[in-house]
Amino acid sequence: MYARILGFSKKGKILLRTIKKNSSTPLVSKLSNYLRQTASWENINIRNRLTKMLNYDILATDIYVLGSKKAENRIARLDFTHKIVIKKD
């Protein structure tokens, strides 16, 4: 299990720090870095399950962008290139 961080505000940043400090659930902000980290995990079952979940997440994003009306917005693997949205308060 993991939590993907797609965006946050100033208040959200404080909440994310609290979650990171008090939760065992990993927070994923940059997918490529997280995948690199998990490659070194010793527990193969957890690593494989996590990789499978992340692949479904990536596939869901790819399918979602296919529905865009503008062709230039139909970009595969957007999970690896799109930056986190930081809302200015």
Q: What is the DSSP string of 53-83?
A: HHHHHHHHHHHHHHT-SSGGG--TTGGGTPP
Integer Cα distance of 22 and 30 in angstroms: 20
Place of tokens 């930056």: 83
**pLDDT exceeds cutoff 90 at 81:** no
Residues in the chain: 89
Tens of pLDDT along 18-29? Answer: 999 999 888 888
40-62 per-position pLDDT tens digit: 888 888 888 888 998 999 999 99
Q: What is the mean pLDDT of residues 64-68?
A: 92
pLDDT, position 25? 87
Q: How far apart, in whole angstroms, are the C-alpha atoms of residue 68 and residue 78? A: 13
What pLDDT is attached to residue 70? 92
For residue 9, what pLDDT band results from cuts at 50, 70 and 90? very high
Distance CA 62, CA 80 (A): 11
pLDDT confidence of residue 29: 87
The whole model's pTM is what? 0.73
